[in-house]
Amino acid sequence: MSPVLLAALAVCQVPLYLPPQQALPDAAWPSHAVIAVPQGWIAPEHKLYLTEDGRPIPSQVEVAARWPDGSPKWLHGYATFRYAKGEARRYALARANELPPEASKSPLRVLDDERGIRIDTGAVRFHIPRPFVGIALLQRGEQTLLQGTGGPGVVDAEGTLWQAGHDDKAEIVVEQQGPACVTVKAVGWYQTPEPREDAFCRFTTRITAYAGSPIIKIDHATTFADDMKKHGVAALSFTFPLKDASQYSSGTSRGTFGDDLRAMSLAQLTDDRVYRIAQTGPNAKRDLKIAHDFERNAGWFSARTGDHRTVLLTRDFWQKCPKEVKISPSELVYYAWPEHGELTPPDPTATKIENVYKSLCFQSGDVLTSHLPDEYFQALEQQTDTTEAKAEYAQAANLQGVSMRNQFALAILPAQASDEQVAQLQRLYLQNPSARVSSTVIARSGAFGPVAAAGDDFVDGYDTAVRILLGYVRSIERYGDYGWGIYGNTHHEEFMSFEVGGKRVGRPSLHRVWHNNHYKYVSTAWKLWALHGDWRLLALARRATDNYASVGQVRYDRVWMNSDPNDPKRRPGIKYHYPGGFYHCKATVPWGGRDYGMDAVDIDANLTGHWPDPSALLLSWLLDADRWSKDGYDLWLSEVKFPDGNTREANESLVQAITAYEYRPNSETMAAIKKLAKSLTNQSILLNRPSPIWAPTWLSRYHELCPDDEEFKQYLVKSADEIGLNCEGICSLALCATAYDLTGDKDYLLRHGSTVVRTKRRLFQDPTRYWQDYGARPGPSRGGHFALQWPRFLYALRKAGIADLPVPEEPGQYLCSATRYDDPRDVLARGTRILILKDDQAAQPLTLDANAASSGDLPRTSLMLLNSAGATVWQRAELERGPRIERPSSRLAYHQQLPGPDTAGLYALFVGSNDIGIYQGIAGGVPECQVLHSRKQPGLSDSVVYRCKHTKGWLVPLVDLPITLKFIARSDRDGSYVSVTPHEGPGGSKWLVAGESAEVALDDYPAPWQLEIYGDDSSMTDVFVETDAQVPLLYGHSLEHVRVIQSKLQPQR
């Protein structure tokens, strides 16, 4: 361990850190701390507490997870953390044999009896009755602010009001209690006064109060718990019964209640439009005055009663629209689904290709149902992005099992508190700072296995990993992906070149349009947050987990829950809706999929497979004390049965099984782990297709769980040799790190210099920030799971004492001159022409490494070698596929050898293809380069266009004429990087958005010029040479070689 960590542990204290904040610079903020400790550091006799500036404070510490020996592994500490001028005071976790009196001294009092739970924080007093009606009484000092019944309520499509208070069987318990805080959990059904069997919504509510604090935090979720084709939601509310409120305010809206203002509702019906609905008379339906503005509500709402303000703070109010808050003298109502949704204006662009995926029919309107309107179905039927996600799947999609979760808080403030002070508190609530130990402490605790925290070495690795995550979720802002059911979700692919109104704005592809954490970016974000510490990652992880745990997970299925667990024919009421399972990504709504009687080509939700990521919920609990996420993980854990097999379904299930075993060990899970490992290792890893390392840490994780399995060690090392740098787009960083650990062979690590560079270069650079860091993504597609694996790889680098990773030189491809491969005359006229200057040495074969210049399989390609007299030496009608090899850039290419020139002289290799990328360096070290033709050639109706994915070399002129190069980023999904730099002096470079073009006048810079084109994945760049000469340029990686060949040619004047 580091000296700092050793010193901290020696004095039995671990420092905690909170982010600086300027929302409310001098604040006392009730929150939690997250701590990871090494195995055995805490003994059974130890008492744990928090300190502030070295002094014990009222606090409580809970064990969130344990080590195999039973000692605490992850801890949550609760306290009120104080800021001064935006900087947090010094906090630490302390360990002692006796608990100091100051740590347990608290004004917090809790009385739990059959009538309900009474809580006194020292700042406010309130009562939570049984049955559950929310907070029925709240007082501060002598002032009563809330009095009456309220709590959760839902109005169905027929106008019937269902309320939590009518469920006399609801469970209301004190979930946690200590000197710092108390949490009350209520779970049950929305019911009618006369209980009905067709109740269709369940509630899960947590109310947390803190010692000495006037802030009460509420986490409330409604789960749709019946076939939602049969039900509709007209309003979904949580009511606080105000007592004699006289005034209200919210942002720029404020007023005084009286005969001409009976109530005010503020409805955020779309993400950018707020409706102000004033009730001006006794009739709540007719006496309404309505106005709206294009704005986003700040999310706070205040009602004044006497000497106090009852303030409602909300999270994601406009982001998870539609939302509404109603304030009157007698109630403060938070609507998760608005009461006035019918006011939402129709959006004429809702079913256009750039918007239809948002499913605004489920994000707005008067009644929420599972019925897909006909115009949406028709729009989805007509799209051509995907044949996988059929319109029928969105039509069959059922909201049963989906939850609508919202977080809000009550703050009881003095009446003299200004609106600006309330706004500051709202901003602090949105930031929701929490304390944590350093990334180094987490890494060296061993809680994540052999991983390294970010440091001063290999900065590019962690920087790239963080940028991948932050760039990936920028799509939310880019496309305005807001709404209760989609906010926090992301996309599989995007069309970068898509235009609206002549502006290139991009749009998501409808192929797997809602990713549903398909590639585990949510759990990756949590781990990076832990090991890197960028606070933006915490915000990202919270937002994504909220969506994944609420909308992406099936929380309930009535038929399944009410059926016999031992019935072999047991099945859920909605196909694939196994409680605890996670939705796949095969429909255009996040909860979409097939129902019974439809095709069975794929599985749309499940507990295991290559897509479920329950670890994301577990990490949300461990790293952020999120109990709603813990509920979801516990539900999954109670229902899961692990499969066997030897594909990506199995290796991902193995990783999830290991995580489950580490969290809650039992013999059944260990037996499943052993069975899965056996099925995966009964043949060569490359035969376990598809995606033998879909879960790229599975070999490492199993070895760490079972380190004495000698047979598996041999399999792991052999697998590292067979996989090489990557397999099916997934890099082998974690596997190679463990192979090094087992063998001591540093080559497993040194080989990956190009992996790091290539991943970083995938990230698009955009000065406008619109497309910033687009390109590389978490997961196997476009990112190789780099972000997930880097912490393990960095640990191995440090252990090996490697200070730098060498990056092999990669010249890249020759520019492919697009031509018809099967027309020799066309190939000779405008095909790719590579000159080779053969010396007097013995003949050497030509070595061709090739792949598609764009993407996909090797295109049809013809070849002919001509001598200096123009005679054909040999000709190949089609380039054969040789074995696939890894290039220095980590890209895969087909490799083969062809006969080289046998006598000295200048030879020309003509290549006929529309899309071939032949790598430079084919002639075994003798001079070689390419001849570039101008765009217009005599006798040719087609222009000469060169295509390339990535290349680097020198342009040398053959003529003294103006030459202009034009570049076009040809892909519809990916951009390109282009740079032209003179041999001496500065040049120019540009990142081109897909479809964008740029021109460079070479005469503006002294010759020769170094050209670099870089792209990845679907990226391809078209290059046009504009000049009056037919053959104006030579191009090659070695400037020396290009000049040698230039000297052999007759210059064209």
- How many Å is the maximal CA-CA distance in the chain? 106
Cα 209 from Cα 211, distance rounded (Å)? 7
Residue-level pLDDT at 1053: 36
Tokens matching residue 277: 């609905």
> Which residues have CB under 8 Å from 352's CB, separation 6+?
379
Cα angle for residues 51, 53, 56 (degrees, 5° grid)? 30
Residue-level pLDDT at 939: 83
The hierarchical CATH code for the domain 3-105 is 2.60.40
Tell me which residue of 430, 412, 422, 23 sits closest to 249, measured CA to CA. 422
Look-up: residue for tokens 């991902």? Answer: 652
Quote the distance between the C-alpha of residue 156 and its chain's center.
34
In degrees rounded to 5, what are phi and psi of residue 528?
Answer: -65, -40
- Reduced to 3 states (helix: H, G, I; strand: E, B; else coil), residue 262 is coil
Confidence of residue 463 (pLDDT cuts 50, 70, 90): very high
Tokens matching residue 1022: 């078209």
Neighbours of 678 (CB within 10 A): 13
Cα 530 from Cα 442, distance rounded (Å)? 7
Residue-level pLDDT at 646: 85
Query: In this predicted model, what pLDDT tens digit does every residue of 104-150 receive, in sequence order?
Result: 999 999 999 999 999 999 999 999 999 999 999 999 999 999 999 99
Percent of the chain with pLDDT over 70: 99
Q: Is the pLDDT reported for residue 249 higher than 80?
A: yes
> Which residues have CB under 8 Å from 667's CB, separation 6+?
none
- β-partners of residue 1009 are 955, 982
- All CATH 2.60.40 domain ranges in the chain, comma separated: 3-105
Tokens matching residue 70: 């039973």
- Average pLDDT score over the chain: 95
- All CATH 1.50.10 domain ranges in the chain, comma separated: 442-800
Residue-level pLDDT at 8: 47
CATH for 442-800, options being 1.10.150, 3.20.20, 1.10.1670, 1.50.10: 1.50.10
Cα 802 from Cα 109, distance rounded (Å)? 56
Q: Is the pLDDT reported for residue 563 higher than 70?
A: yes
Q: Determine the residue type at 800.
A: A
Burial bucket for residue 1038 (CB in 10 Å: 0-12, 13-18, 19+): middle
The answer to whether 113 and 97 have CB atoms below 8 angstroms apart is no
Helices and strands, counts by H and E, the chain = 24, 58
What Cα–Cα distance (Å) separates residue 530 from each residue in 320, 448, 1044?
27, 10, 55
Cα 815 from Cα 156, distance rounded (Å)? 64
Tell me which residue of 305, 323, 306 sits closest to 314, measured CA to CA. 323
The answer to whether 451 and 239 have CB atoms below 8 angstroms apart is no
Cα 593 from Cα 589, distance rounded (Å)? 8
- β-partners of residue 323 are 268
Q: Is the pLDDT reported for residue 2 higher than 90?
A: no
Tell me which residue of 876, 895, 1025, 1038 sits closest to 963, measured CA to CA. 1025
Residue-level pLDDT at 1050: 64
What architecture (CATH level 2) is domain 113-262+297-344+402-412? Distorted Sandwich (2.70)
In this structure, the chain runs to a length of 1053
- All CATH 2.70.98.30 domain ranges in the chain, comma separated: 113-262+297-344+402-412
- Once rounded to an integer, what is the mean pLDDT over residues 800-812? 95
Query: In this predicted model, what pLDDT tens digit does every residue of 975-999 receive, in sequence order?
Result: 999 999 998 888 889 999 999 999 9
Confidence of residue 1051 (pLDDT cuts 50, 70, 90): low
The answer to whether 221 and 627 have CB atoms below 8 angstroms apart is no
- Once rounded to an integer, what is the mean pLDDT over residues 927-937? 95
Tell me which residue of 167, 143, 310 sits closest to 240, measured CA to CA. 310
> Which residues have CB under 8 Å from 286's CB, separation 6+?
none
Total-model pTM: 0.96
Residue-level pLDDT at 761: 96
Q: Is the pLDDT reported for residue 3 higher than 60?
A: no
Q: How many Å is the Cα radius of gyration of the chain? A: 32
Cα 775 from Cα 1019, distance rounded (Å)? 10
Outline where DSSP puts E strands in 271-417: 273-279, 288-293, 300-305, 308-314, 323-328, 331-337, 403-414
Residue-level pLDDT at 625: 98
Angle between helices 535-550 and 521-532 (to 10 degrees): 150
Cα 276 from Cα 588, distance rounded (Å)? 33
Cα 929 from Cα 946, distance rounded (Å)? 15
Element (H, E) at 1010: strand 1009-1014
Query: In this predicted model, what pLDDT tens digit does every residue of 683-707 receive, in sequence order?
Result: 999 999 999 999 999 999 999 999 9
Cα 385 from Cα 855, distance rounded (Å)? 18
Q: Is the pLDDT reported for residue 7 higher than 50?
A: no
Tell me which residue of 510, 511, 669, 522 sits closest to 582, measured CA to CA. 522
The answer to whether 863 and 912 have CB atoms below 8 angstroms apart is yes
Cα 554 from Cα 605, distance rounded (Å)? 8
